[in-house]
């Protein structure tokens, strides 16, 4: 999330698996929109894990900003790569 906030998309997609990197590459406009939304919410103050299921590789995080928060869900595969990523704008 810090890389998306900083608009460093190369760093943002680096931990993703090949499929996710390809999908992210096709949706750079959405990453830019997400970064802009994050900036509208102020400074990123923390990124905290709120749930985790290591046996399934599923994790939830809360990205907190000066003016709100975003929920983030991601799945980490057996190789340690992000294989799924979703942002809940209503957190």
pLDDT (tens digit per residue) in 45-73: 999 999 999 999 999 999 999 999 999 99
Buried b (16+ CB within 10 A) or exposed e, 52-76: eeeeebebbbbbbbeeebbbbebbb
Question: Which residue matches tokens 């998309």?
Answer: 9
Strand (E) or helix (H) holding 89 = none
Averaged pLDDT, 81-87:
94
The structural domains of the chain, ordered by start, are 2-88 (3.10.450.590)
Closest CA relative to residue 82, chosen from 59, 63, 61, 64? 59
In this prediction the pTM is 0.84
The CA distance from 86 to 30, in Å, is: 12
């Amino acid at each position: 999330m810090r890389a998306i906030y900083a608009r460093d998309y190369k760093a943002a997609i680096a931990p993703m698996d090949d499929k996710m990197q390809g999908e992210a590459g096709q949706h750079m406009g959405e990453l830019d929109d997400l970064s802009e939304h994050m900036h509208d919410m102020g400074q990123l103050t923390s990124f905290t894990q709120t749930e985790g299921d290591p046996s399934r590789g599923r994790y939830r995080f809360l990205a907190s900003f000066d003016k709100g928060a975003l929920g983030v869900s991601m799945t980490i595969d057996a190789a340690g790569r992000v294989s799924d990523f979703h942002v809940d704008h209503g957190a």
